[in-house]
Structure 1
Amino acid sequence: MGIYGQDWASYQSATPSTKGLAFAFVKIAEGLGYINPKWIEQRNHAKAAGLVWGAYYYPHMANSAREEADYFLKQVAWQPGDVVILDWEGYDTANAGVPKARQLDYKEEWLRYVKDRMPHNPVGMYCNADYWRNVDNTGYCGDFLWIATGGRKAGDPGIKADWLFHQYTDTPIDTNYCHLGSVDELRAWALSFAEPATPTHPGPTPESPTPTPAPRRSRPGIYRVIGV
Structure 2
Amino acid sequence: MTIFGIDISNNNGPDINLAEVAREGFEFVFAKVSEGDGFVDYTWPGYRDAAHANGLLVAGYHYLRSDCDVTAQAELFVSHVGDAATMVDFEANSGGIDTFWAFVNAVNALGRTINLSYIPRWYWQQIGCPDLSRVPGLIQSSYVAGSGPASALYPGDGTGFWNGFGGKSVDILQFTDQALVAGHHVDANAFAGTVDELRAMLGLTLSTTQGVLMALNDAQQADLLQKVQEIWEQLRGPDGRGWAQLGKNPQGQDMTIVDAIAGLQSAVAAMKVAKPAA
TM-score normalised according to structure 1 size: 0.70
User: In the TM superposition, what is the alpha-carbon distance from 1:125 to its structure 2 partner?
Assistant: 0.8
Does residue 177 of structure 1 match 2:190? yes
Unpaired stretches in structure 1, ≥5 consecutive residues: 195-205, 208-228
Higher relative contact order (CA 8 A, sep 6+): 1
User: In the TM superposition, what is the alpha-carbon distance from 1:13 to its structure 2 partner?
Assistant: 4.0
Q: Which residue in 2 is equivalent to 1:214?
A: none
Matched residue type, 1:176: N
Q: Conserved in 2, the CA contact under 8 Å of 1:154 and 1:177? A: no
User: Deviation digits for residues 157-197 of structure 1, max 9, x if unmatched?
Assistant: 2432312211000003100001112x233224434689xxx
Unpaired stretches in structure 2, ≥5 consecutive residues: 145-153, 179-184, 207-256, 259-278
Secondary structure of the equivalent of 1:173?
strand
Larger gyration radius, structure 1 or structure 2:
2
Secondary structure of the equivalent of 1:137?
coil
Q: Which residue in 2 is equivalent to 1:22?
A: 27
Q: Which residue in 1 is equivalent to 2:5?
A: 5
| Structure 1: distance between partners of 2:33 and 2:204 | 24
Q: Which residue in 2 is equivalent to 1:187?
A: 199
Count of matched residue pairs: 182
Alignment of 1:98-109 (within 5 A): 102-109=95-102
Does residue 89 of structure 1 match 2:91? yes
Q: Which residue in 2 is equivalent to 1:42?
A: 47
Pairwise CA RMSD: 2.6
User: In the TM superposition, what is the alpha-carbon distance from 1:63 to its structure 2 partner?
Assistant: 1.7
User: In the TM superposition, what is the alpha-carbon distance from 1:33 to its structure 2 partner?
Assistant: 1.9
Q: Say which of 51, 57, 71 aligns to 2:76.
A: 71
Secondary structure of the equivalent of 2:12?
coil
User: In the TM superposition, what is the alpha-carbon distance from 1:38 to its structure 2 partner?
Assistant: 1.2
Alignment of 1:20-169 (within 5 A): 20-77=25-82, 79=83, 82-90=84-92, 95=93, 102-118=95-111, 121-135=113-127, 136-140=129-133, 142-151=135-144, 153-155=155-157, 156=159, 157-160=161-164, 161-169=168-176
TM-score normalised according to structure 2 size: 0.58
